[in-house]
Structure 1
Amino acid sequence: MNFVKRAGLSLWARKGRTLITFATFLVISVMVLAGILIDDATARAELDAKRAVGAEVNLSMDMNVEGGGGQLQAPRVDAATVDELGALPQVQKYTYSVWDRAILKGAFRLVDGGQPDPMGPGGTVGMGVLDSSLLPDFRNGTFTLLSGRHLTAADKDTKQLLVEERLARKNGLAIGAKIPLTGNDEKTTADFTVAGVYRDPRPSTESDPEYGINPANMLYGAVGGLAALGTGGNGPLQVGEATFLLRDADVQDAFKSAAQRVAGAALDGFTLDANDKAIQQMTGPLKSIRSTATVAMWLMGLAGAAVLALLTNLAVKQRRKEYGVLLAMGEKKSRLIAQQALEIVLVAAVAIGVSSLFAPALTQRAGQSLLGREATAAEQKISSWQHPAPGSTGLDQGIDWDDEPVDNADPVDEITVALSPTDLAAVGGVGLAIGLLATAVPAGAVLRLTPRSILTKGA
């Protein structure tokens, strides 16, 4: 009789054992398929998060480095050095900034609110930027340019300003209006032209956590013009932070290596953050559930393989007499092993087919539930981080700046599970491997005996 037909008859005749084997394979298939589906879904979500963050590298002060005497010293780097980094082939666009105290003169008045006179009477913060469109708050949509235009590298040495709409409204400022500003020395004065009006959604009563001023009074100006106001035009322009928009996210490491090679010691006291922090904050929950699903998949696969091996071993021992008769009739051992393997493969194929019908929906619900809990825990950790008081580094309070949350990088709390032919093929390969392994070991042990020894030892 053909061994394929014998395999079908054997499965039908031993319905109880077939159902047990089917149930075991079904559980294994569901768990393995769930692990693969979650891995695929989280990988897609991580890629989407990486694309959302963008190919950006930030040069900023290393908050965990202390200067001499235990006091934190704000490092500076020559703008010329940053320009060299901006000319590297990996860079598409870049910007940098400087800030200093700026004092409104004449009839112009600041918007009320925030801390009283944090910069002195009439004083506010003037932030000089090379390209205002690359500022994080503009790029992520927190700030909105209402009228006018952004400042660009072409405005570097001009006296152009972006003003917040509340300050513009209070002083009747429109595009092209002139604003007299005095520098921190309270001597150097220059007239600046309003190039654009932007909106900051923060209320006037909420002081900026970094500078302590009313956010409605923040001024953004052309970097060269504001720097000249602060220094009187003496000395080279030095900056405290910069942003590099790269041509591709995959060249981040190459850019960082090239930047260290070009700038060397000039970057001491700075960090080059390739947005890893934002990506890690967003994808932390994804990595957690992926790890959980992978461990569960391996444990279930190994446990299932052990159970199948035990079931197959018992089945083979119960069929020793059958094998002895078949071998005595001239049946080849390889065909008997093939029959046993075929029985397992047939059951596995049906189990995998059934699991593919409901595993995606089950995985979607289970994965979404796990991810929701992880995302909630991550959001609670973010909300519990307290920014130190303005003017304080927080180091004396034990604040770890590595734990500082990144704005507009909310943890991913949703995944979409989708079954593909590749996933089904992967589950089939795993199921086939487990089935063959469970079959080969016990069957091979019995078939090493001769027909005579099998029959004389009995069933």
Structure 2
Amino acid sequence: MNFVKRAGLSLWARKGRTLITLATFLVISVMVLAGVLINAATARAERDAKRSVGAEVNLDMDMSRMGNAAQLQAPSIEAATVDRIGALPQVQKYTYSTWDRALLTGKNKLVDGGPKEPMGPGGTVGMGVLDSSLLPDFRSGKSTLVSGGHITAADKDTKRLLIEERLARQNGLEVGDEITLTGNDEKTTGEFTVGGVYRDPRPTTEADAEYGISPANMLYGSVGGLSVLGSEGGGPRKVGKATFLLQDADAQGAFKSEAKRIAGAALAGFKLDANDKAVQQMTGPLKSIRSTATVAMWLMVLGGAAVLALLVNLAVKQRRTEYGVLLAIGEKKSRLIAQQVLEIVAVAVIAIGGSALLAPQLTQSAGQALLGKEASAAERKLGSWKPPALGSTGLDQGIDPNDKPVENADPIDKITVALDPADLATVGGVGLGIGLLATAVPAASVLRLSPRTILTKGK
């Protein structure tokens, strides 16, 4: 009789054992497919998060390479070099900034009630930026544009300003009005146009942590426009820091390599640091459920393989007489092994097909529930972070300022499970591999015996 037909008759005759094997295979297939689907879904969500947020790479002073205090002089790099780096294909947008003391002159006055004139009478901070939309406070949503538009690279050599709404309100200024600023030398002046008005939520009395002035009196201007106030000294424009927003977080390595090639020795004293904190904050729950799903999947694979091996071993031992008779009438051992493999493969194929129908919906429900819990826990942790007391680094209070949550980067709490042919192929490969391994060992142990030994000793 053909061994294929024998395999079919054997499965039908032993319906109970066939159903038990099918159920075991189905559980293994569903668990393996669920693990594969969750891995795929979380990987897609991570890629989408990286593409939506991008990756921020900061060019800043490398304190670890600075010498003693006598040598502690902030490095600078020519803006033209930064522009060449910013033109790399990995870069979506970039900005750099310069800052100096500037004075309001004429009828315009600073907002009262702030810190005690840290920049001198009438003094404010004029920060020159290439693209104000990339400033941390604007990117996080902390500061918002009220009217007008952001300063962009197209405004680089114009005399354009972005002012806080309290300063605008105090002086009756609107978009399109002009302001006279005097440089740090208190002689050089320039006429600037208000291009936009923004809102900073910090109170007027709160000193800016970096510059010590009231947030209400902070000015942002185009880098070329502010340079007319004399801070550049007539030489090439130089900057002390820059920010590059990449198209994709995965492009960090290529970007850094190209940036170092372009800048060369000009990067001495600087470091290129990737700031992917927003991506990490968003994808934390995804990594957690992926880890849980992977562990559960492999535990089920190992446990299922052991159960299958036991079932097959019992089945083979119970069929010793059958094997002895077949071998005695001239059946080849290879065909007996092929029959046993075919029986397992037939059951595995049915189980894998069933898992393709059951696993996606079950995985979507279970994965979503698990992710929801992880995301809620992550949000509670982020919400519990408290800033250090004013004037303190926070280290003495056990607070790490670097743990401050990134605004507008909520942990991802939704995934979409989708069955891909490649996922099914992976499950098929794993399932068939388990079945073949479970079959080979017990079958080989029986087939080592001669037909006479099997028939005379029986079970």
TM-score range, shorter chain: 0.7 to 0.9
> 304-313 or 62-71, which moves further after superposition?
62-71
Paired residue secondary structure (1:220) = strand
Does residue 414 of structure 2 align to residue 409 of structure 1?
no
Paired residue secondary structure (1:231) = coil
Shift of 1:320: 0.3
Alpha-carbon separation, structure 1, partners of 2:245 and 2:140 = 14
Q: 1:227 to 1:418 in 2, by over 3 A?
A: same
Paired residue secondary structure (2:175) = coil
Q: 1:212 to 1:366 in 2, by over 3 A?
A: farther
5+ residue gaps, structure 2, are none
Could you tell me which residue of structure 1 aligns to residue 319 of structure 2? Answer: 319
Shift of 1:404: 4.8
Alpha-carbon separation, structure 1, partners of 2:210 and 2:413 = 29
Q: How does 1:155-234 map to 2 (within 5 A)?
A: 155-184=155-184, 186=186, 188-200=188-200, 208=208, 210-211=210-211, 213-229=213-229, 231=231, 233=233
Shift of 1:340: 1.6
TM-score (norm 1): 0.86
Q: How does 1:343-362 map to 2 (within 5 A)?
A: 343-362=343-362
> 161-170 or 133-142, which moves further after superposition?
133-142
Q: How does 1:303-452 map to 2 (within 5 A)?
A: 303-385=303-385, 387=387, 403-452=403-452
8 Å CA contact 2:232–2:238 kept in 1: the answer is no
The letter of the residue matching 1:282 is M
Query: What CA deviation, in whole Å up to 9, does each residue of 1:412-457 have, x standing for no partner?
Result: 2221112233322221221111111111111122112221111011
Q: Percent of counterpart pairs with the same letter?
A: 77
The letter of the residue matching 2:371 is L
8 Å CA contact 1:62–1:269 kept in 2: the answer is yes
Q: 1:232 to 1:55 in 2, by over 3 A?
A: closer
Does residue 274 of structure 2 align to residue 271 of structure 1?
no
Paired residue secondary structure (1:282) = helix
Query: What CA deviation, in whole Å up to 9, does each residue of 1:147-182 have, x standing for no partner?
Result: 444333454344321123343233221233121234
> 183-192 or 168-177, which moves further after superposition?
183-192
Q: 1:66 to 1:398 in 2, by over 3 A?
A: farther
Q: 1:237 to 1:405 in 2, by over 3 A?
A: farther
Alpha-carbon separation, structure 1, partners of 2:11 and 2:69 = 82
Could you tell me which residue of structure 1 aligns to residue 4 of structure 2? Answer: 4
Could you tell me which residue of structure 2 aligns to residue 260 of structure 1? Answer: 260
Aligned-pair Cα RMSD in Å: 3.4
Alpha-carbon separation, structure 1, partners of 2:405 and 2:333 = 65
Alpha-carbon separation, structure 1, partners of 2:194 and 2:361 = 56
Could you tell me which residue of structure 1 aligns to residue 34 of structure 2? Answer: 34
Shift of 1:50: 0.9
The letter of the residue matching 1:341 is V
> 388-397 or 253-262, which moves further after superposition?
388-397
8 Å CA contact 1:53–1:275 kept in 2: the answer is no
Paired residue secondary structure (2:414) = coil
Could you tell me which residue of structure 1 aligns to residue 280 of structure 2? Answer: 280
Alpha-carbon separation, structure 2, partners of 1:117 and 1:365 = 59
Does residue 96 of structure 2 align to residue 96 of structure 1?
yes
Could you tell me which residue of structure 1 aligns to residue 150 of structure 2? Answer: 150
Query: What CA deviation, in whole Å up to 9, does each residue of 1:92-143 have, x standing for no partner?
Result: 6432112233343343244466656565554433221123344455556655
Alpha-carbon separation, structure 2, partners of 1:397 and 1:72 = 29
8 Å CA contact 1:111–1:166 kept in 2: the answer is yes
Could you tell me which residue of structure 2 aligns to residue 107 of structure 1? Answer: 107
Alpha-carbon separation, structure 1, partners of 2:403 and 2:66 = 18
The letter of the residue matching 1:197 is V
8 Å CA contact 2:24–2:304 kept in 1: the answer is yes
The letter of the residue matching 2:408 is N
8 Å CA contact 2:50–2:248 kept in 1: the answer is no
Alpha-carbon separation, structure 1, partners of 2:210 and 2:110 = 18
Shift of 1:293: 1.6
Q: 1:121 to 1:13 in 2, by over 3 A?
A: farther
8 Å CA contact 1:60–1:271 kept in 2: the answer is yes
State how many pairs are aligned.
459
Does residue 237 of structure 2 align to residue 237 of structure 1?
yes
Q: 1:214 to 1:349 in 2, by over 3 A?
A: farther
The letter of the residue matching 1:430 is V
Alpha-carbon separation, structure 1, partners of 2:389 and 2:270 = 22
8 Å CA contact 1:210–1:390 kept in 2: the answer is no
Q: 1:413 to 1:355 in 2, by over 3 A?
A: same
Shift of 1:235: 5.4
8 Å CA contact 1:209–1:390 kept in 2: the answer is no
